[in-house]
Amino acid sequence: MAVESVSRTAQENGSSRRHARIGILGAGFGGIGMAIRLKQAGIEDFVIWERDDGLGGTWWANSYPGCQCDIPSHLYSFSFAPNPEWTRTYPLQPELKRYLRSVADRFGIADHVHIGCEVTAAQWDDAAGVWRIETARGPFTVELLIAAPGFLSEPSTPDLPGLADFEGTTFHTARWNHDHDLTGRLVAVIGTGASAIQVVPRMQPVVEHLDVFQRTPPWVMPHRDRPITEAERRIYRRFPTLQRLVRAGVYWVRELLVPASSIGPGSCGCLSASPGATSSVTLRIPTCAPGSLRATCSAASGCFHRTTGIRP
Ligand SMILES: Cc1cc2nc3c(=O)[nH]c(=O)nc-3n(C[C@H](O)[C@H](O)[C@H](O)COP(=O)(O)OP(=O)(O)OC[C@H]3O[C@@H](n4cnc5c(N)ncnc54)[C@H](O)[C@@H]3O)c2cc1C
């Protein structure tokens, strides 16, 4: 994996440009990918505004234990920037964040980015033929505005009565509090979506008691995560076409799963109901066809086995 960035952002370069032909909102996979394609088309006159203090979007904001992609990274990466250095088939968040930053460096994107620069308003000025953009770091004008704001970098906190008065510690997986040691604590997790499926098996061995509150039961697919050996990495470095073939293979297997999983549970032998086989919890089995709800992936088989309560 490429080393951490050496490129400097627009602020670090002291850029004071306030007008550009194109403005991109957001520096996640979407915004960075867009910027690279502009560069490849010979367009250099663009800025990127990013409200967070770093590049990566989802992969900058989510840093909870166990955070990883659930599509193998040979596919979950830019087609024009394969990475023979992946250390796992499903890399953890730090590696994905580093990948995005290194790609931004490699294609010369970083010095177009204004970090810590939230866009607060955008208005089209018909007379001048420009977008007037208000940001946390002052106004900009651009001729074309491209929105890549994503949605999983922003915490969605449930509106629970009494939450504001709760005296314990609360935090969202998208803003993990790394200073709070969970060892020996009484913990409640709200939700059993993709993030919970990843974080619960990591916290369960250290907490004293864990309750997981579930509203909509998801289907869980096995996560065939494994380390990628140095020998494999050497082969990918030497024969990039092989990595492209693996990528195509992952793509087609995933595509073929879609029609199969939309028929019904019986058609998908690999799917199991969350939370897995367990005797001490109240189970809710999904009633919908697996393909009608985003399936979650777990490397930990029966990941909720030793939780002491799953509350429907
Ligand atoms: C744990 C986890 C695992 C995932 N696994 C997969 C997977 O395996 N495969 C898959 O396809 N997808 C996966 N996803 C979904 C993932 O979010 C997308 O793949 C992808 O990263 C989205 O990129 P994006 O650029 O559209 O949005 P984001 O990554 O969310 O980036 C948007 C950026 O816009 C910025 N922004 C928003 N509003 C403003 C504003 N007003 N001003 C300035 N900046 C702003 C945000 O701060 C953010 O940095 C996963 C998500 C999570 C959380």
Domains of the chain, earliest start first? 3-147 (3.50.50.60), 163-222+261-311 (no CATH)
* 120 CA closest ligand 1 atom index: 41
| Residue 25 beta carbon below 6 angstroms from any ligand 1 atom | yes
Which range is least confidently modeled, 70-74, 101-105, 277-281?
277-281
Closest protein CA for atom 27 of ligand 1: 150
Residue 289 is predicted with a pLDDT of 64
| Residue 91 beta carbon below 6 angstroms from any ligand 1 atom | no
Residue 216 is predicted with a pLDDT of 83
Asked if pLDDT for residue 140 goes beyond 90, the answer is yes
Residue 11 is predicted with a pLDDT of 64
Residue 288 is predicted with a pLDDT of 67
For ligand 1, the distance from its centroid to the CA atom of residue 62, given in whole angstroms, is: 9
Residue 276 is predicted with a pLDDT of 40
Residue 15 is predicted with a pLDDT of 63
Residue 256 is predicted with a pLDDT of 86
Residue 144 or 164, more confident: 144
Asked if pLDDT for residue 272 goes beyond 80, the answer is no
Asked if pLDDT for residue 171 goes beyond 60, the answer is yes
For ligand 1, the distance from its centroid to the CA atom of residue 58, given in whole angstroms, is: 4
For 222-241, the pLDDT digits (tens) are 778 999 999 999 999 999 99
| Residue 31 beta carbon below 6 angstroms from any ligand 1 atom | yes
| Residue 136 beta carbon below 6 angstroms from any ligand 1 atom | no
Residue 90 is predicted with a pLDDT of 96
Residue 284 sits at the vertex; the CA angle it makes with 293 and 192, to the nearest 5 degrees, is 55
| Residue 150 beta carbon below 6 angstroms from any ligand 1 atom | yes
Residue 71 is predicted with a pLDDT of 92
Residue 292 is predicted with a pLDDT of 62
Asked if pLDDT for residue 259 goes beyond 80, the answer is no
* 117 CA closest ligand 1 atom index: 43
Residue 124 is predicted with a pLDDT of 98
CA proximity to 206, closest of 2, 80, 1, 66:
66
Closest protein CA for atom 37 of ligand 1: 149
pTM of the model as a whole:
0.86
Which of the given ranges, 10-14, 264-268, 281-285, has the highest pLDDT on average? 10-14
Closest protein CA for atom 5 of ligand 1: 69
Interval 189-216 mean pLDDT:
91
Dig out the tokens for 271 from the structure: 């799917």
Residue 299: Cβ within 10 Å count: 18
| Residue 57 beta carbon below 6 angstroms from any ligand 1 atom | yes
For 104-115, the pLDDT digits (tens) are 999 999 889 999
User: Cβ distance 172 to 155 under 8 Å?
Assistant: yes
Residue 75 or 307, more confident: 75
For ligand 1, the distance from its centroid to the CA atom of residue 51, given in whole angstroms, is: 13
- State the Cα torsion 48-51-56-61 to the nearest 10°: -170
Q: Could you give the percent of the chain with pLDDT greater than 70? A: 78
| Residue 29 beta carbon below 6 angstroms from any ligand 1 atom | yes
Which range is least confidently modeled, 13-22, 86-95, 133-142, 279-288?
279-288
* 58 CA closest ligand 1 atom index: 29
CA proximity to 50, closest of 77, 33, 28, 20:
28
Residue 64 is predicted with a pLDDT of 97
Interval 153-159 mean pLDDT:
82
| Residue 113 beta carbon below 6 angstroms from any ligand 1 atom | no
Q: Which amino acid is at 68?
A: Q
Asked if pLDDT for residue 303 goes beyond 90, the answer is no
